[in-house]
Amino acid sequence: MTTNGRELTACKTCELIARRDAGDAPMWDAIHRTDHWDLVHAYNSSLPGWLVLVARRHIAALADLNAAEAAELGPLIQKVSAALHEVTGCHKTYLAQFAEHPDHPHVHLHLVARRLDDPPETRGPAVFAYIDDATRPLVDGARMNDLARRLQAALQRR
């Protein structure tokens, strides 16, 4: 696959963008699409309301954002955070960006609903315990789709 003039050996993030472009993604994987960003629910989270903002262009580092991508990002973070508060009743939202996973070397921001009653040992960076955790069940597709529908409605009101 060639994106942005670069040869990619494997970028699962780009594969998921192509699936959205083809109209084949489940609702939870295409909650909201802007010119430069896709909003999705994480597929490997056991915490409901773990959202991901994905750059629609393959870039590996935040420094590679162009002006239009950067301009859209700030307001989007605020809008999605407000929608998450409204839909989940969360206490605050967390924001993290690494793009270090071998399957996802592509700029994506984790935007996570942190509930008031989440235990102290899962707060801050430790919230990543909810990703790929074999001891906790993943949020199922029906629950993610329900959240997606309510988030879409909340985003439309903003």
Binding site for Zn ion (CB under 5 A): 11, 13-14, 58, 106
If residue 149 lies in a helix (H) or strand (E), which one and from where to where? helix 141-156
Tell me how far CA of residue 73 lies from CA of 18, 34, 83, 129, 156, in angstroms: 21, 10, 15, 26, 17
**Least distance between Zn ion and beta carbon 34 (Å):** 17
**Distant-in-sequence, close-in-space partners of 67: CB < 8 Å, separation ≥ 6:** none
Closer of 51 and 55 to Zn ion (Cβ): 55
Closer of 7 and 117 to Zn ion (Cβ): 7
**Least distance between Zn ion and beta carbon 52 (Å):** 13
Closer of 11 and 90 to Zn ion (Cβ): 11
**Least distance between Zn ion and beta carbon 153 (Å):** 30
**Least distance between Zn ion and beta carbon 14 (Å):** 3
- Report the DSSP beta bridge partners of residue 113: 93
Say how far apart CA 121 and CA 114 lie, in whole Å. Answer: 12
**Least distance between Zn ion and beta carbon 1 (Å):** 9
Per-residue 3-state assignment (H helix, E strand, C coil) for 51-112: EEEEECCCCCCHHHCCHHHHHHHHHHHHHHHHHHHHHHCCCEEEEEECCCCCCCCCCEEEEE
Closer of 49 and 105 to Zn ion (Cβ): 105
Closer of 14 and 51 to Zn ion (Cβ): 14
